[in-house]
Amino acid sequence: MIVKSVALRGAAVHTRKTEPGQDYDWYVKAGHLQLFDKTNEIYRIALRDVSAEIPRLAVIIDGERIGFLIGDMPCQRIDHGKRIIHDTLYLEFDLQYHRSVLHTAGVLLLCSKNAYQIHEEHFMEYAEKLFAHSPSTQLSFKRVKLPVVNKQPNFNLAPIVQEKLVLFSDTVNRNRCARYLIHFKYRDNRRFSFVSTGRLKLAKCQQIADKSDECVLLTLSSEIQSEVNLTKNRFSHFRKMFA
């Protein structure tokens, strides 16, 4: 795994403790977080309790920061009911590192299931290190190692051109999304969101789109046959309301 060390501004971990009554929550919020509330809203809408074996990711760009979330990573701790505990890790960076962060998401979309598990363990170790230092609000490390693109997406596939789009999460569309993220050109003062999740219904996809200037979403929902332009969907909804 080829990695690049990147300076970190803040981090958070959603997990649970081993004792009875200590349910899942954000037990760690460390450093200087500006996008946590917005990312947590996306997490609540789209990434909580995802059971499908697909990449569980989110990226948000807003202002001078970029946030990256990877969800539901099994760790080595077990709870009082002998169940494996799952960590969700949120990392926040200065905007200057947006290419490194977007490339990380692209790598995770392109890699095999076995390679994804290796990357997942890599990020899980960061999450557990942070959790071990909770409830401290000071970062226990100042830099993280992010995977570097070593496999290019398929450029023969149709590019993504819409500003707000949800796609069915199959191999082809994950490849298209990876290409989009790896070659993404950020425009100032626009909020961008990317989410890869399980069976997220169209209405919830629309919630994320309505809070973003640009977004690309991947879902396993049967409502999405291939892709839906969420900007058009919203206007169509308004026309029906006033028809």
Segment among 27-36, 85-94, 224-233 with least mean pLDDT? 224-233
Instruction: Encode pLDDT of 199-212 as tens digits.
Output: 999 999 999 999 99
**Helix, strand or coil, per DSSP, at residue 57:** strand
What would the two tokens of residue 142 be? 């100042």
**pLDDT greater than 50 at residue 58:** yes
**pLDDT greater than 80 at residue 220:** yes
156-172: b (≥16 Cβ within 10 Å) or e: eeeebebbbbbbbbeee
Q: Is 239 or 22 the better-scoring residue by pLDDT?
A: 22
Mean pLDDT value across residues 114-124: 95
What is the percentage of the chain residues whose pLDDT exceeds 70? Answer: 94
Mean pLDDT value across residues 116-131: 95
User: Would you state the pLDDT for residue 204?
Assistant: 95
Determine the straight-line distance between the first and last CA of the chain, rounded to whole angstroms: 55
User: Would you state the pLDDT for residue 51?
Assistant: 67
Mean pLDDT value across residues 89-109: 97
Strand 25-31 and strand 57-62: the pairing is unpaired
**pLDDT greater than 90 at residue 189:** no
User: Would you state the pLDDT for residue 113?
Assistant: 92
What is the percentage of the chain residues whose pLDDT exceeds 90? Answer: 77
**pLDDT greater than 50 at residue 241:** no
**pLDDT greater than 90 at residue 137:** no
Model-level pTM?
A: 0.92
By the 10 Å C-beta count (0-12 exposed, 13-18 middle, 19+ buried), 84 is classed as exposed
**pLDDT greater than 50 at residue 101:** yes
CB 227 within 8 A of CB 173: yes
User: Would you state the pLDDT for residue 237?
Assistant: 43
**pLDDT greater than 50 at residue 121:** yes
Mean pLDDT value across residues 116-129: 95
* Mean confidence (pLDDT) of the chain: 91
Position 26, amino acid: W
**pLDDT greater than 50 at residue 29:** yes
